[in-house]
Amino acid sequence: MLFGAHVSSSGGIWQAIDRAEAMGCDAVQVFTQSPRMWRPTNHTPEAVARFRERREEARIGSVVCHALYLVNLANPDPVIHGKSVAAMRSSLEAAAAIGAEGVIFHVGSHLGAGFEAGLEHVVPALRELLELTTDDLWLLMENSAGAGGTIGRSTDELAAIHDALDHHPRLGICIDSCHWYVSGVDVTDRTALDAAVEEIDSRIGLDRLRCLHVNDSKAALGSNLDRHDSIGVGLMAAGLRTFLTHPAFQELPAILETPGPEGHGPDADEVARLRALHGS
């Protein structure tokens, strides 16, 4: 397993590698632009080259990018939908430039219109975006916490998108421990976790699972509230080890997206706690 964290790329995208190395990571997740603004960041050829050079020096085994929070591929509004597709395209292009292995994204919300209505907008958008993927760069759907009209609250919903896109060979998934927990999957219970993993395998295929987000939860099991907490602090506490040590996950990057000690994200101590929780 590769242990890592979401880190800032402010000051130049290569600085994400500097920060990850200082934290003791061997995997990293970055935004390729501000997560709450539509305007893309222009990464110069020099910045991209420096990122690749620093990744090799720091021996970072996995790099994934996270798409904007603003993205909603299920939105029927042509303006928002168009901006969402353009932002995803920009993320994929930046990810390809820096040599990332995946772009993780939240599918979006059907805004009360229903899952099938949302699917009518999601599928053609993803079909277009998947043309930008390669054998080395995949699109990864993230499971949602299940609030409101969000899509991806269950394996069934992720599988329906996967099926509608004819099992595209470069469409994968990222599982978030907090999102699974608050959507009703008790990842601290081995029997419940085994059943959830088996469902992924039978409906989508474990070969499509390419990344983990490892987050504790401030919100209760089945609450549908997306409230990440730091490792060992939230409701899952030491029970999160059950998720982290599942045999199906051991070749994957495990990325922290926690608030951290001061609300600025995970730090070196938390990466060390993640390793200790796993037993590595």
Task: Name residues whose C-beta falls within 8 Å of residue 107's C-beta, 6 or more positions apart in sequence.
Answer: 73, 74, 118, 122, 141, 142, 144, 150, 151, 152, 161
CB 209 within 8 A of CB 158: no
* The predicted structure's pLDDT at residue 36: 80
Across all residues in the chain, what is the average pLDDT?
A: 95
Ordered by start, the domain boundaries in the chain are 2-278
- How do strand 27-30 and strand 62-66 relate by DSSP bridges? parallel
* The predicted structure's pLDDT at residue 40: 86
The values of phi and psi at residue 184, to 5°, are: 115, 0
Residue with tokens 């699917």: 119
Which of residues 252 and 37 earns the better pLDDT score? 252
Whether 13 has a pLDDT exceeding 90, the answer reads yes
The values of phi and psi at residue 141, to 5°, are: -75, 135
* The predicted structure's pLDDT at residue 217: 97
Question: From residue 134, how far is each of 141, 184, 203 by CA, in Å?
Answer: 16, 34, 23
Other residues' Cβ atoms within 10 Å of the Cβ of residue 116: 9
* The predicted structure's pLDDT at residue 192: 97
CB 174 within 8 A of CB 212: yes
Q: What is the pLDDT of residues 33-88, one digit of tens each?
A: 888 888 888 899 999 999 999 999 999 999 999 999 999 999 999 999 999 999 99
pTM over 0.75: yes
Residue with tokens 């603004």: 37
Q: What is the pLDDT of residues 101-159, one digit of tens each?
A: 999 999 999 999 999 999 999 999 999 999 999 999 999 999 999 998 999 999 999 99
Question: From residue 150, how far is each of 27, 63, 104 by CA, in Å?
Answer: 28, 26, 16
Whether 280 has a pLDDT exceeding 80, the answer reads no
* The predicted structure's pLDDT at residue 34: 84
Locate 96 and state its tokens.
């390809």
Distance CA 65, CA 104 (A): 6
Return the amino acid letter for 248: A
According to CATH, the topology of domain 2-278 is TIM Barrel (3.20.20)
* The predicted structure's pLDDT at residue 262: 83
Q: With pLDDT > 70 as the criterion, what percentage of the chain qualifies? A: 100
- Terminal-residue alpha carbon distance, the chain: 9
CA atoms within 13 A on the CB side of 201: 8
Q: What number is the average pLDDT over the span 230-239?
A: 94
* The predicted structure's pLDDT at residue 55: 97
* The predicted structure's pLDDT at residue 60: 98
Q: What is the pLDDT of residues 172-219, one digit of tens each?
A: 999 999 999 999 999 999 999 999 999 999 999 999 999 999 999 999
